[in-house]
Structure 1
Amino acid sequence: MDFTPLSNALTAKSYDKVADICDELMLKAAAEGVPFQDEWPYAIHLLGHIYVNDVNSARFLWKSIPSTIKEGQQEVAAAWNIGQKLWTHDYSGVHEAVRHFDWSEQTRPLVAAFTEVYSQRIFRLLLSAYSTVSIQDTALFLGMNEDDATKYVVGQGWILDSASQMLTVKKQAVAVERKLDSDKLQRLTEYVFYLEH
Structure 2
Amino acid sequence: MTDAPILIRSVEILSDDWAILKKFTFDYRRRDGSLERQVRQTYDRGHGAVILPYDPGRGTVLLVRQFRLPAYVSGHSEPLIEACAGLLDKDNPETCIRREAEEELGYRLRETEPVFHVFMSPGSVTERLMFFIARYSPEDRVGEGGGDRHEGEDIEVLEMALDEALAMVDQGRIVDGKTIMLLQHLKLKGL
TM-score bracket, normalised by the shorter chain, equals under 0.3
Larger Rg: 1
TM-score (norm 1): 0.26
Indicate the structure with greater helix content.
1
Higher relative contact order (CA 8 A, sep 6+): 2
TM-score (norm 2): 0.27
